[in-house]
Amino acid sequence: MRTTVKTLAVTAAVSLSLFTAACGSSDDSAGDQPKEETSSSAAPADDPAAGLVGPGCADYAKAVPDGAGSVSGMSEDPVATAASNNPLLKTLVAAVSGKLNPDVNLVDTLNGDEFTVFAPVDSAFAKLDAKTVKTLGTPEGAETLSSVLTYHVIPGQIAPDDIDGTLKTVNGADLKVTGSGDNIKVGGQAGVICGGVKTANATVYLIDSVLMPPA
């Protein structure tokens, strides 16, 4: 018995030293294996419509059933590009792309990393008074516009299940999100219309009011 164990152990040791030598200088091996993988030019395997929350998701899907601005269309582009294809986000897109204020252009910056973005829809901007919006378009208003926009952006992608809590925005100020499912409030004032919309690099929550950073 003991001999059996010993013999096997010695054989194992010898086989290890023998076989480790049995390879050339190339230490590469088949790292890749062919199996299902989506490429950027093909339809994503995961259903982008899965995991959406908010009372407005059905209306959004009805208003934008297909194309680049739809739920599945947005999932293929980086966030600023995706937003620019969404007919509900015209004002926001103008604000981040230098069209509202030539001194404020966050398109590349927003496309360049992973984020969670609270995206006020056009009717949210319509609630602001016209004078405020006009000021945001002036050279003096650039700093304020930048501050407001960055208050809507959180580093990293956060799914609806984990969104409840106090989040640090890229503006530096904290933003409080409460609730879940069809009843999520952002910053105590804005309601989530439809959240968890995936883009290539960011998770988007459409909201019904513009958030104002603490002064």
Partner 1 sequence: MNTTANDTTAPWWAGALSGGLAAAAGVAVGTAAAALLNGVPSPIESVGNRAVDLAPPALKDFAIDQFGTKDKPVLIGGVVVTLALLSIVAGIIGRKRPVVAIAGVAVIGIIAVAAAAVDRTATASRALTLVPSLLTVAVSLAALVLLLGTLRRVRARPTGPGTVGFVRRDFLKAAAGVTALVVIGGVVGKIYGTAAAVASRAGITLPKATTPVAAVPAGTQVDVEGVSRYVTPNRDFYRVDTALRIPDVPAEGWNLRLHGMVDKELNLSFRDLLDMPLTEHRITLTCVSNEVGGPYVGNAVWTGVLVKDLLEQAGVKSGADAIKSTSADQWTAGTPLEAFTDSRNSMVAIGMNGEPLPLAHGFPARLVVPGLYGYVSATKWLTDLEVTRFADFKAYWTTRDYDAEAPIKFSSRIDVPRSFQAFPADKVRVGGVAWAQTVGIEKVEVRVDKGPWQQASLGTEDTIETWRQWSWEWDDATPGNHTLTVRATNKDGDTQTSERASIRPNGTTGWHSVQFRVE
Would you tell me which residues interact with partner 1 (CB under 8 A)?
1, 4-5, 8-9, 11-12, 15-42, 78, 81, 103, 105-106, 108-113, 115, 143, 146, 150, 153, 155, 170
Q: How far is the CB of 75 from partner 1 (least distance, A)?
A: 15
What burial class does residue 156 get, using C-beta atoms within 10 Å of its C-beta: 0-12 exposed, 13-18 middle, 19+ buried?
Answer: exposed
| Whether 159 contacts 181, CB under 8 Å | no
Q: How far is the CB of 129 from partner 1 (least distance, A)?
A: 25
Nearer to partner 1, 20 or 166 (CB): 20
Nearer to partner 1, 41 or 166 (CB): 41
Compute the distance between CA of residue 51 and CA of residue 63 in angstroms, rounded to an integer.
19
Nearer to partner 1, 83 or 106 (CB): 106
Distances (CA, A) of 155 to 49, 124, 132, 158, 212: 23, 23, 27, 9, 18
Q: How far is the CB of 38 from partner 1 (least distance, A)?
A: 7
Compute the distance between CA of residue 100 and CA of residue 169 in angstroms, rounded to an integer.
22
Q: How far is the CB of 31 from partner 1 (least distance, A)?
A: 4
Q: How far is the CB of 44 from partner 1 (least distance, A)?
A: 11
Q: How far is the CB of 105 from partner 1 (least distance, A)?
A: 6
* Angle in degrees, CA 195, 181, 115, rounded to 5: 30
Nearer to partner 1, 13 or 63 (CB): 13
Compute the distance between CA of residue 171 and CA of residue 44 in angstroms, rounded to an integer.
32
Q: Is 88 helix (H, G, I), strand (E, B) or coil?
A: coil
Nearer to partner 1, 8 or 58 (CB): 8
- Residue 46, both tokens: 């995961």
DSSP 186: E
The residue type at 201:
N
Nearer to partner 1, 57 or 110 (CB): 110
